[in-house]
Amino acid sequence: MYVNESSDPVSVIPLSTNGETTLNAVWKQRKETWYIVEPGNEKNVIDMFTPRQFQEAIENGKYSFKW
Q: What angle do CA 47, 48, 54 make, to 5 degrees?
A: 100
Return the pLDDT at 4.
46
- Of 11, 33, 35, 32, whose CA–CA distance to 23 is shortest? 35
Per-residue pLDDT of the chain (67 residues; tens, 9 = 90+): 444 454 455 689 999 998 889 999 999 999 999 999 999 898 999 999 999 999 999 999 999 998 7
pTM of the entire predicted model: 0.81
Which region holds residue 56: left if phi is over 0, alpha if psi is between -120 and 50, else beta? Answer: alpha
Return the pLDDT at 9.
57
